[in-house]
Amino acid sequence: MNYPNVTLRQLRAFVLVAETGGFASASRRLHLTPSALSLLIKEMEAAMQVRLFDRTTRSTALSQAGAEFYPLARKLLGDLQQAVESTRDLEQIKRGTVRIACTPLYASMLLPRLIQGWREQYPAVTVYVLDSLHEQALARLRSGEADLCLAPQRKVAPDIVQELLFRDRMWLICPPDHPMAASKSVTWAQVMRERFVSLTQDFTAQLQVDLMRHSPDLALQPAHDVAFLTTALGMVASGFGITVQPEHALELIKPFGLVARPVTRPVVHRSLSLFRFDRQGLSPAAESFAAYLRKRLVKAG
């Protein structure tokens, strides 16, 4: 096959012009003159036989072909960077990167402490936390943006490995003057009688599955669905209802003036899992970090 003769330098120039929206700012970041940068793009367009930018005297914008090519070019550069980083320190994990997608609660309340503990052994490795909603976390793993994913347990495709790390008990969260706040614990039947503030559809669906295992009468019908835990806590504090969240969320409730009580009959847990691709090996840094997560979280759970 005859591939167009596109250089890495041209590819980087194209992506930077697309991201900055013009040749002037891109040329400064590349330490090139605007004319030299323009020549690079023209040579690239000639090699590909497409027009990548629509240019006028006042603006530069991606053409239709350029807009379609941009995400592919950006991913290509990202894949190349990841390959170089993984190969450079293959033996001793002296440098490198680990990218972990994680749902918001555990990205804020659990993961930072774990990263700090691991980086005491590998201080030069950079760990990127890709905080994502439940539905998006696995998508970032599948797209290759993340090496690992830390998220609540769920059904996954056969090419993804899921390892259960620990279980997080579900607690009622309500205002201190709420009638249920006077009890040491509450039942799910009591919870069902209240206006329930839930999180995303994925969160609600998994909670409903857990409840239905115990009784078909425990049908969850949220009064409000929100995307973020802090939004749910704010709504509960303002009188919109109550919510039930994993125990790790209890560290967040004090600023909202809320209290928590364990929920019984049944006792329900949110199971946290580590996800990775089965068909590809992890970099040494990511493999080491995954092993550290298993050791710390399985032991704690």
CATH number of the CATH domain containing 260: 3.40.190.10
Does some domain include residue 1? no
Which residues contact residue 184 at a Cβ distance below 8 angstroms, ignoring those fewer than 6 apart?
A: 261, 262
Burial class from Cβ neighbours inside 10 Å (0-12, 13-18, 19+) for residue 20 reads middle
Domain of 52: which CATH number? 1.10.10.10
List the beta strands (DSSP E) in 132-288.
Answer: 148-152, 160-174, 186-187, 197-198, 224-225, 243-246, 259-264, 269-277
Half-sphere exposure in the Cβ direction for 69 (13 Å, CA): 19
Q: Which of 87, 121, 148 is the last residue of a domain?
A: 87
User: Does 163 score more than 90 pLDDT?
Assistant: yes
Q: Residue 13 falls within a domain, yes or no? A: yes
Reported as half-sphere exposure (CB side, CA atoms, 13 A), residue 7 has a value of: 8
Tell me which of 86 and 19 has the higher pLDDT: 19
pLDDT at residue 297, rounded to an integer: 86
**Residue 147 binned pLDDT confidence (cut-offs 50, 70, 90):** very high
Q: For the chain, how many structural domains are there in total?
A: 3
Phi and psi of 257, rounded to 5°?
70, 30
pLDDT at residue 112 greater than cutoff 80: yes
Residue 2 within any structural domain of the chain: no
From the list 59, 80, 76, the residue with the least C-alpha distance to 17 is 59
Whether 152 and 176 share a structural domain: no
Domain limits for position 77 = 8-87
Measured on CA atoms in the order 97, 103, 108, 111, is the torsion positive or negative? Answer: negative
Rounded-to-integer distance, Cα 274 and Cα 286, Å: 12
* Together in a domain, 29 and 80: yes
Average pLDDT of 88-112? 83
Residue 104 and residue 133 in contact, taking contact as beta carbons nearer than 8 Å: yes
Rounded mean pLDDT of 175-194? 95
